[in-house]
Amino acid sequence: MTTEVDYYELLECERTADAGTIKSSYRKLAMKYHPDKNQGCTDSEAKFKAISEAYDCLKDPQKRAAYDRFGHAAFKQGGGGGGHGAQDFSGFSDIFESVFGEFMGGRGGGGGRANLRGADLRYDMDISLEEAFHGKNTEITVDVSAICDTCTGSGATPGTAAKTCQQCAGHGKVRAQQGFFMVERTCPVCHGAGQVIADPCRDCRGEGRTDKTKTLSINVPPGVDEGTRIRLTGEGEAGARGAPAGDLYIFLHVKKHAIFEREGTTLYARAPISFTTAALGGEITLPGLDGESHVVKILPGTQSGREVRQRGVGMPVLQGRGRGDLVVQLTVEMPTKLTPRQRELLEEFRSTETGDECPESTGFFAKLKAALG
């Protein structure tokens, strides 16, 4: 009985390691144990295959989630077939289908290339609130598995070709009768590819893909919000042996702004006003994300905390028309330094107070006095 070594242990990573750490560790170990650098060393070759198998699993978010939960058992086929477990299933739906097959209306024959579709990838992009308002065109650089240039994705050494798997007749799946049920499983010989390669490409080891760095153009539309996803079809990992590529999902994260906060298409801002402006009324000018200056009118007797809504000057509606509102919360600021003349004027004002100027405070103390008898 063979001992199954933990994938994280093979890659010398913690289970909490992020995708970048796992990839960096794999590349370092792959260079160390690559057969070209260890000619004739069977231990190094076995180690290289083991870490490649571990990386094939952990670089795929779905496969990694399955492995974290079930370990190597997540990729078992009930005793049928060997090879790299992480290549046998692309997720829980494949595990379920491999058990129940056609009985539950599975996808059925012709699996082959579809089963080897490249994994979807995620890229997190930080943008400012101004960029979310106006939109932006930018470029990103991502490390992905792309079609191998040597074999052009076939997985076979140039001049040779893959042959139809005799075990599954090219379907990528085999069926077996178990009692009253017909069970369909991934072919244990070709691992779902439908083809076998007698002479694998040396550069990609028969996968038909190698790690590359790609530069992609991204169009961020106006009005995007935290968590908005942009899908780039076919820009994920290349499929094995020429199978379709996965997709790349750009997740947008809007950085905190110094002045404005956002809720949907509504912008919020706090603006301090002097106590004289609050008492006498007036206006303030607030620059907006659109580059325009917006005049906010202050009514006489404005209290601290009052909100003034400016219609149609908030965030743009994503993939629509119009804009949300701007809500300005006013805070009355008391002076901390007074000139002698200012103090004289305030003293004069206080001497003329009757209590009717601030009815809320007058009412409060009247209620407090009544409550205390």
Residues 312 and 355 in one domain: yes
Residue 148 known to bind ligand: yes
Are residues 212 and 311 part of one domain?
no
Whole-angstrom Cα distance, residue 185 to residue 79?
11
In this prediction, residue 115 carries a pLDDT of 57
Cβ–Cβ < 8 Å for 265, 314 = yes
Does residue 139 sit within a domain?
yes
Q: Are residues 268 and 246 in the same domain?
A: no
246 and 276 part of one domain: no
Number of structural domains in the chain: 2
Was 41 annotated as part of a binding site? no
**Banded pLDDT at 70 (limits 50, 70, 90):** confident
Range of the domain at 303: 261-371
13 is in an annotated binding site: no
Residues 295 and 362 in one domain: yes
Q: Where is average pLDDT lowest: 67-81, 118-132, 227-241, 251-265?
A: 67-81
Q: Report the distance separating Cα 120 and Cα 63, nearest Å.
A: 11
- The answer to whether position 36 is within a domain reads no
**Statement to judge: residues 217 and 277 lie in one domain:** no
Task: Verify that 284 and 249 share a domain, yes or no.
Answer: no
Residues recorded for the chain: 373
Instruction: Please report which confidence band the pLDDT of residue 77 belongs to, taking 50, 70 and 90 as the band edges.
Output: very low
Token look-up 């007797």 returns 301
Provide the CA 153 distance to its chain's centre, in angstroms: 28
Binding site annotation covers 201?
yes
Separation between Cα atoms, residue 163 and residue 334, nearest integer Å: 84
> Annotated binding residue at 151?
yes
| Same domain for 267 and 243 | no
- Check the annotation: does 204 bind a ligand: yes
Phi-psi region of 88 (alpha: psi -120 to 50; beta: other; left: phi over 0): alpha
Mean pLDDT of 246-267: 94
- Residue 70 belongs to some domain of the structure: no
pLDDT of residue 100: 42
pLDDT in tens, 87-102: 333 334 444 443 344 3
Q: What angle do CA 162, 163, 168 make, to 5 degrees?
A: 125
Q: Is 190 annotated as a binding residue?
A: yes
Report the share of the chain in percent with pLDDT over 90. 39
Same domain? 211 vs 315:
no
Kindly report the CATH number assigned to the domain that includes residue 214.
2.60.260.20
Note the pLDDT tens digit of each residue in 160-195: 888 888 888 888 888 887 766 778 888 888 877 788
Per-residue model confidence (pLDDT) at position 80: 35
165 is in an annotated binding site: yes
Q: What's the pLDDT at 360?
A: 75
Task: Give the model's confidence band at 133: pLDDT under 50 very low, under 70 low, under 90 confident, else very high.
Answer: very high
Distance CA 292, CA 286 (A): 9
Asked if the structure places residue 278 within a domain, the reply is: yes
Give the other-Cβ count within 10 Å of 367's Cβ: 10
Query: What is the structure's pLDDT at 9?
Result: 87
This prediction has a pTM of 0.59
Strand 248-254 versus strand 121-127 pairing type:
parallel
Residue where a domain stops, chosen among 239, 255, 271: 255
In a domain, 91, yes or no: no
Residue 262: closest CA among 294, 223, 290: 223
Judge whether 227 lies within some domain. Answer: yes
